Amino acid sequence: MKNTIANMADVVSNDKTQSWFYSDIVREHFFHPKNFLETDAPEVEFNAMGKVGSPACGDELRVWMMVDPATEKIKKFWWRTFGCGSAIASTSIASVIVTENDGMTLENARKLKPQDIMERLGGLPPRKFHCSVLCDKALRDAINDYYRRSDQFDKIVNEAYRLIDPVAKVTDHDIEEAVLEGAQTLEAVQTKTKVGIGNPGILPAVEELIRFYREKYFG
């Protein structure tokens, strides 16, 4: 099993001289993932569920949470993914982050960023950044699901319309659609959406989203 894993494309360096170039923390969470489920969580053990991706695209992630209604803290967080080693490690460490120290509130969990996940992992290769984004999106989807189940509809944030550029009024959904329509570079996405043209400070975030959607749909 170790030889098989060591020869997978995402854990072998380009020059084939290193069989593992991730941090020790990534290695630990890849080989010994925390809070992982092999099957779906029983209905009685969670009160929120999130999902992102699709097996047809290569990555799918499902998460289940038990939230304390009195404090809105995440007490349990389980997950299952069809993704790569980086997706496994990212979700594993995220499950620890949101449940440690008596659990993170939903308000604070929603503020968790992919950069926070990567920092706890000791970094990820640039082409694997989208794995932490995948986990980030599944967590927020589960938070929305909790608010939906508890009839707190005013607290639901529609991810499809997350505003990326307040000047050009461009959302993450607009960028996703541009990539699906064939825009593979920042310049091509800007041509379609005008994102960042009058607001260059948001360009790094735009480039991260382009990489995520490009790898999600086209590999």
Residues marked active site are found at 57, 131
DSSP SS3 for 17: coil
d(Cα 51, Cα 80) in Å, to the nearest integer? 10
Nearest to 129 by CA among 66, 212, 65: 212
Q: Give the chain's length.
A: 219
83 neighbors 60 (Cβ within 8 angstroms): yes
Instruction: Please state at what angle helix 85-99 crosses helix 24-31, rounded to 10 degrees.
Output: 90
Q: How far apart are CA 103 and CA 95, in angstroms?
A: 10
Cβ within 8 Å of residue 132, ≥6 positions away:
86, 90, 114, 115, 117, 118, 121, 124
| Torsion 119-123-125-128 (CA) sign | negative
